[in-house]
Amino acid sequence: MTKTNNDQGPITTSLDKGVLRISIQRPEKLNALTLAMYDALTAAFEEAERDDYIRVILLHGTDNCFTSGNDLRDFATQPPQGENSPVFRFLKAVSQAKKPLIAMVSGPAVGIGTTLLLHCDLVYTDETARFQLPFVNLGLCPEAASSYLLPKLVGHLHASELLLLGETINAEKAAELGLVNRVFPHVDLLKQVLAKAEQLAAQPPGSVRLTKSLLKEGQARQVAEVMSREGELFLQQLAKPEAQEAISAFIQGRKADFSQFS
Ligand code: COA
C-alpha cells in the first residue's frame, strides 16, 4: 500500500511497505520549523502510533537540508509559552515514540535538527551533513534533554565543546562521536536508507517495539524530567536580553554583540 498526503503544507507524509516517511519541505528557509510545522509533525507521529500498518517512521528534510531548527522569527514574534507549546509537544512525541524512528540527514541539522537525533533509533547521513547546537550562541540553553543525553553519548568534553562553543561539525566527526550510524554517499543516501527502513519494517514488529522500549526504559524518567526542566529554563532565557540580542542580530543580518552583558 502506498499513501501520500500533501495536505499539511511543508510537512508531507507518505506510506509504503510499512514505512511512514515524514518529510520537512520548506527549502526557502532551510526547513526552519514553525509552530504549524511542529503541529503537523506531532500529528504525523500520533498517526504512526495509531496505524497498525506503520512499522517504521522515517524523518527527513529536502535534498540539501534536514532543518535549520526552530524558525528564529517565530522565536521573536510568537515564542513558546509552556509545556503545551507545539515544539514541546513535538519533542514529547519524538522521545516517546513506540515505533522505531530513523532520521536521514543531508545538509544543515541545526538546534532541534540535531537534538531530535538523540531520540532516534537509527541515524543515517551523507557527506553534505552539518550538525550544530547553537543554543548558547543564541543566549539560550540546551533542549530535548540534550544536556543529559549528549554527554552520555559523546562524553562531557565533546558535549561541552558542541554546546558551549556551538561550532558546526561535519558528518565524519558526527560518525566518530557516535551521533550517526553511517555516512553514505549523497547520491546513494535515499536508496540505502529506504533499504534499511524496509529491512526493519520486515522484522517481527512486536519484538522490534519491545526491544526499542527496553533500550530506552532505563533512562525514560530522567529524559522526561530533564526535558521538562530544560524547557522551563529555555523559555526564561528566551525572554532575556542576551537571546533578544542574538535573535535580532540574526533577523537583521548582523553579528550579535554580547559585550554589554555581565
Ligand atoms: N529561522 C528562520 N529563518 C531561517 C532559519 C531559521 N532557523 N535558518 C535559515 N533561515 C532563512 C534565512 O533567514 C534565509 O532567509 P532569506 O533568504 O529570506 O534571507 C534562508 O533561510 C537561507 O538561510 P541563510 O542563512 O542565507 O543560509 P546559509 O547557507 O548562509 O546558512 C545556516 C545556513 C543554517 C548556517 C544559517 O541559516 C543559520 O545559522 N540559521 C539559523 C540556525 C539557528 O540558529 N537555528 C535555531 C536553533 S535553536
- For ligand 1, atom 19: residue with the closest CA: 29
pLDDT interval class at 9 (50, 70, 90): confident
Average pLDDT of the chain, as a whole number: 96
**Ligand 1 pocket, 108 CB below 6 A?**
yes
Ligand 1: centre distance to CA 253 (Å):
10
- Segment 164-170 shows an average pLDDT of 98
Residue 192 forms part of a structural domain: no
Encode 50-70: b = buried (16+ Cβ within 10 Å), e = exposed: eeeebbbbbbbbbeebbbbbb
**Ligand 1 pocket, 80 CB below 6 A?**
no
Ligand 1: centre distance to CA 191 (Å):
28
pTM score of the predicted model = 0.97
- For ligand 1, atom 36: residue with the closest CA: 68
pLDDT > 70 fraction of the chain, expressed in percent and rounded: 97
Domain count within the chain = 1
Return all residues near 138 (Cβ < 8 A) that are at least 6 apart: 72, 243, 246, 247, 250
The CATH number of the domain holding residue 151 is 3.90.226.10
- For ligand 1, atom 28: residue with the closest CA: 30
pLDDT interval class at 7 (50, 70, 90): low
- In the chain, the DSSP E strands lie at 2-5, 11-16, 19-24, 56-60, 101-105, 108-110, 122-126, 130-132, 169-170, 182-184
Ligand 1: centre distance to CA 205 (Å):
39
**Ligand 1 pocket, 68 CB below 6 A?**
yes
**Ligand 1 pocket, 111 CB below 6 A?**
yes
Residue 203 forms part of a structural domain: no
pLDDT interval class at 214 (50, 70, 90): very high
**Ligand 1 pocket, 32 CB below 6 A?**
yes
**Ligand 1 pocket, 87 CB below 6 A?**
no
- Segment 148-164 shows an average pLDDT of 98
**Phi, psi at 222, each rounded to 5°:** -60, -45
Residue 181 forms part of a structural domain: yes
Query: What integer pLDDT is reported at residue 134 of this predicted model?
Result: 98
Please, are residues 88 and 42 in contact by the beta-carbon 8 Å criterion? no
Residue 120 forms part of a structural domain: yes
Encode 132-141: b = buried (16+ Cβ within 10 Å), e = exposed: bbbbbbbbbb
- Segment 149-175 shows an average pLDDT of 98
Residue 167 has pLDDT above 80, yes or no: yes
Residue 244 forms part of a structural domain: yes
- Segment 23-32 shows an average pLDDT of 98
- For ligand 1, atom 10: residue with the closest CA: 29
**Ligand 1 pocket, 69 CB below 6 A?**
yes
Residue 1 has pLDDT above 90, yes or no: no
- Find the domain containing 121 and state its range: 2-186+214-252
Ligand 1: centre distance to CA 251 (Å):
9
- The per-residue pLDDT for range 35-72, each reduced to its tens digit, is 999 999 999 999 999 999 999 999 999 999 999 999 99
**Ligand 1 pocket, 67 CB below 6 A?**
no
Residue 258 forms part of a structural domain: no
Nearest to 93 by CA among 20, 18, 191: 20
Residue 95 forms part of a structural domain: yes
pLDDT interval class at 3 (50, 70, 90): low
**Ligand 1 pocket, 110 CB below 6 A?**
yes
- The per-residue pLDDT for range 88-146, each reduced to its tens digit, is 999 999 999 999 999 999 999 999 999 999 999 999 999 999 999 999 999 999 999 99
- Segment 222-251 shows an average pLDDT of 97
**Ligand 1 pocket, 168 CB below 6 A?**
no
Residue 191 forms part of a structural domain: no
Least confident among 4-8, 26-30, 111-115: 4-8
